[in-house]
Amino acid sequence: MLNKVNTLIKEINNFTASTKEEVEQFRIKFLGSKGILKELFNEFKTVDNSLKKEIGQALNTLRKTAAEKVNELKEKLEEKTEQKAIYGDLTRPAEPIELGARHPISIVKNKIVEIFSRIGFNVSEGPEIEDDWHNFTALNLPEHHPARDMQDTFFIEKNPDILLRTHTSSVQVRYMENHKPPIRTVSPGRVFRNEDISARAHCIFHQVEGLYIDKDVSFADLKQTLLYFTKEMFGKSKIRLRPSYFPFTEPSAEVDIYWGLETEVDYKITKGTGWLEIMGCGMVDPNVLKNAGIDPNEYSGFAFGMGIERIAMLLYQIPDIRMFYENDTRFLEQFKSVL
C-alpha cells in the first residue's frame, strides 16, 4: 500500500491543468466523496497495526499534496483570466501609435534658441500687444520718423499708443529696462504687420531677436557670433555683412549667407547670385541703450533680428508662406520625423 501511495503522490506532483474543468475532475478523482483518498482511508482500517503509523503519515501527505495541487492550479488559472481581462488577447497585433508632428515654425524656433543657448544666450519674451515706446520710440523711432512707415502697424481701437508689435525688437527694450548687463538673450515671438497676404508675405509671422550687451563689445564679436550661428543652423560657413540702415543700430548691416549654386533650386532661391539674405543686425545705438536705462559710455552691444518663416522656407523648401497657417495636415504631417 505504501508503494501505491507514493506513486500517487508522484502522479499528483506531475499533474498540470489548463482549464478549470480539468482541475475539478482532478479534485473529484482524489478528494471527492467517492475518490481515491476515501477508498484508501477505508483500506487503511484493515492495515496491520505495526504499519499504521507509516502508512497513516503517507496518506496524510497524499491528501495534503492533492489539496495543495488543487489550490495552486485554481490560483494559476484565475490569474490567467484576470490578465486576459486587463490586456485582452495578448497575441493580437498592437494598435499603431499615431505620432504627432511639431509645427515647422516651432522646429526652427527651437533650433535657433538651442544654438544660441549653447553660447550663453537665455530666452526672453515680451507682450504681443505693445505700446508705442517699446515698439518705436525707445528704439530710436520717434513720432513722424519716416522709418515707421516701413512697418505698417495695426493699432488697437484707434489708440495710437497701443499696437500689435511689428517686430520682436520691442523685447530688447523691455529686457534692458529690467536687467543689468551683461545681457545675452534671444527673444522669439509673433509679430504683426498690416500687409497684403501673398506667397511671400503675411500679416502675422514670427521673428527671433538677439541682444548682447557688455563692456567692450565690438563689431567683430557680432560677426563671429553670427558666423557661429550660420554654421550651426545651415552648415554654411561663408557670410557677408552688407551695410544697411536700422534706426536702432549704428552701424547696421544685413547678413547674407553663401548658399552656393550647385542645384537648380540654389539658382532659384538665390536669384542666381549664390547669396541669401537672412537677417538684420548692428551695434545697438547709444540712444537705445540710454532710453532703456543703460549707460552707453560704460556698455556697448549688438543686436540682430531674423524671420522664422523665411528660414523655415529655406530649410524645407516651402514655396508659400500661407502654408504655415492653413493647418493642412498633409503639410504638417511631413514634419513628423523632425524634432
Helical (H) or strand (E) element with 252: strand 249-258
Q: Rounded to 5 degrees, what are φ and ψ at 331?
A: -75, -50
Query: Between residues 246 and 324, which has the closer beta carbon with respect to ligand DAH?
Result: 246
Query: Between residues 178 and 334, which has the closer beta carbon with respect to ligand DAH?
Result: 178
Query: Which residues inside 36-95 make contact with ligand DAH, applying CB under 6 A?
Result: none
Report which of 117, 151, 122, 160 is spatially closest to residue 248, judged by C-alpha positions.
151
Distance between CA atoms of 256 and 50, rounded to whole angstroms? 109
Any contact of residue 249 with ligand DAH (CB under 6 A)? yes
Any contact of residue 281 with ligand DAH (CB under 6 A)? yes
- CB count within 10 Å of CB 235 equals 7
Any contact of residue 153 with ligand DAH (CB under 6 A)? no
Any contact of residue 175 with ligand DAH (CB under 6 A)? no
Q: Rounded to 5 degrees, what are φ and ψ at 54?
A: -65, -50
Distance between CA atoms of 5 and 10, rounded to whole angstroms? 9
Query: Which residues inside 304-333 make contact with ligand DAH, applying CB under 6 A?
Result: 304-305
DSSP 3-state of 294:
coil
Q: Give the shortest CB-183-to-ligand DAH separation in angstroms.
A: 13
The piece of 21-29, 82-90, 98-106, 303-311 that touches ligand DAH (CB under 6 A) is: 303-311
Query: Between residues 105 and 281, which has the closer beta carbon with respect to ligand DAH?
Result: 281
- CB count within 10 Å of CB 222 equals 24
Cβ(182)–Cβ(213) below 8 Å: yes
Q: Which three cell numbers stand for residue 290?
A: 540710454
Query: Between residues 26 and 192, which has the closer beta carbon with respect to ligand DAH?
Result: 192
**CA atoms in the 13 A half-sphere facing the CB of 42:** 7
Q: Give the shortest CB-197-to-ligand DAH separation in angstroms.
A: 18
Query: Between residues 2 and 119, which has the closer beta carbon with respect to ligand DAH?
Result: 119
Any contact of residue 289 with ligand DAH (CB under 6 A)? no
Choosing from 65, 124, 140, 169, the residue that interacts with ligand DAH (CB under 6 A) is 169
Q: Give the shortest CB-206-to-ligand DAH separation in angstroms.
A: 11
The piece of 9-17, 30-38, 279-287, 315-323 that touches ligand DAH (CB under 6 A) is: 279-287
Which amino acid is present at 152?
Answer: D
Longest CA–CA span in the chain (Å) reads 125
DSSP 144: T
Q: Give the shortest CB-133-to-ligand DAH separation in angstroms.
A: 16
Any contact of residue 135 with ligand DAH (CB under 6 A)? no
Report which of 312, 283, 24, 329 is spatially closest to residue 172, judged by C-alpha positions.
283
Query: Which residues inside 182-241 make contact with ligand DAH, applying CB under 6 A?
Result: 209
Query: Between residues 246 and 275, which has the closer beta carbon with respect to ligand DAH?
Result: 246
Cα 236 to chain centroid distance, Å, stands at: 26
Q: Which residues bind ligand DAH (CB under 6 A)?
A: 167, 169, 209, 246, 249, 280-282, 303-305
